[in-house]
Amino acid sequence: MSPAVDTALLRRNSLFAVLNDAEMEAMLELGKVRRAVAEERIFTKGDPGDSLYAILRGRVAVQTESDEAKVMLLNILDAGALFGEIAMLDGGERTATVVAQEPTELLRIDRRDFMQFLSQRADLCIRLMAVLCERVRWTSAIIEDTVFLNVPRRLAKRILMLAQSYGRTTDTGTRITAFVSQEDLANMLGVSRESVNKTLKSFQAAGAITYRNGFIVVQDESFLDQVAR
């Protein structure tokens, strides 16, 4: 029997949006629900790519680590997001580490089951290629930003990205509902926390944002957009 899952949540993801009701039910039959506590590793960079995950509830951090234990935060994913598909498709090693940021519920689908399911559905294969192309473009953009942009431009772009993904309109501006510490922002950009702190203060002084207890409110999106250009 398939787990009780909000299919509308899964259909937010472009990969699952092409499935009709019967196909969605068939896919859910392959899945198992996994729960993780805050700070628990879902998998670690270098682990076998033996499964695909969809977030049913909670939030995870996608990060990579150097041999010297330096961490770069690549992304934060919320309910409805998909991860683990790259290593799952080629069966290779995981390319990043994924850690639950809060109590999280996941739908896990094993590689052998998903590949068999995929082999019978050409439209899903095409959509999966599109998803992977989006990931490649996103990764390329991150690399270009790291090489060519200074800290204020990169931080402005990242705040705008977070606002687009997790923003909620309030009386004071767009509140980013995800908790993002200065250390998180520094790890996202691969810079020092001091550089992030200095830049955040300059954005606050300009009236572009407020930042309190790990939560950002964007008050002047046009200012950040100008900085990011």
Tokens of 227: 């900085």
| pLDDT score of 215 | 92
pLDDT higher than 70, residue 212: yes
Q: Under DSSP, is residue 163 helix (H, G, I), strand (E, B) or coil?
A: helix
d(CA 40, CA 28): 24
Which residues make Cβ contacts (< 8 Å) with residue 74, sequence separation at least 6?
A: 62, 63, 64, 96, 142, 188
DSSP state of 93: B
pLDDT higher than 60, residue 186: yes
Give residue 3's pLDDT band: very low, low, confident or very high (50, 70, 90). low
State which H helix or E strand residue 149 sits in. none
Q: State mean pLDDT over 201-210.
A: 96
| pLDDT score of 2 | 59
d(CA 8, CA 96): 28
d(CA 35, CA 42): 9
| pLDDT score of 190 | 85
Rounded to a whole number of angstroms, the distance between the first and last alpha carbons of the chain is 51
Tokens of 18: 């092409």
pLDDT higher than 90, residue 217: yes
Give residue 145's pLDDT band: very low, low, confident or very high (50, 70, 90). confident
Give the pLDDT confidence of 18-33 residue by residue, as tens digits. Answer: 888 888 888 889 999 9
90-94, 129-133, 199-203: range with lowest mean pLDDT: 129-133
CATH code matching the domain that covers 150-228, chosen among 1.10.10.60, 3.40.50.11540, 1.10.10.10, 3.40.190.10: 1.10.10.10
Better-scored residue on pLDDT, 145 or 220: 220
* CATH number 2.60.120.10 is the correct assignment for the domain at 7-146: yes
Which residues make Cβ contacts (< 8 Å) with residue 39, sequence separation at least 6?
A: 99, 100, 101
Give residue 86's pLDDT band: very low, low, confident or very high (50, 70, 90). confident
Strand order in the sheet with 41-43: 41-43, 97-100, 59-65, 71-78
Of 140, 142, 133, which is closest to residue 73 (Cα–Cα)? 142
C-alpha 133 chain-centroid distance = 15
Q: State mean pLDDT over 82-110.
A: 91
What is the CA angle 39-52-32, rounded to 5?
80
Buried b (16+ CB within 10 A) or exposed e, 96-115: bbbbbbeebbbbbbebebbe
Better-scored residue on pLDDT, 152 or 3: 152
User: Looking at the DSSP assignment, which residues form a beta bridge with residue 77?
Assistant: 60
Q: State mean pLDDT over 157-185.
A: 91
| pLDDT score of 54 | 93
Distances (CA, A) of 5 to 50, 107, 222: 22, 9, 39
Of 137, 138, 147, 43, which is closest to residue 97 (Cα–Cα)? 43
The model carries a pTM of: 0.77
Q: For the chain, which residues make up each domain, given as ranges?
A: 7-146, 150-228
Q: State mean pLDDT over 55-78.
A: 86
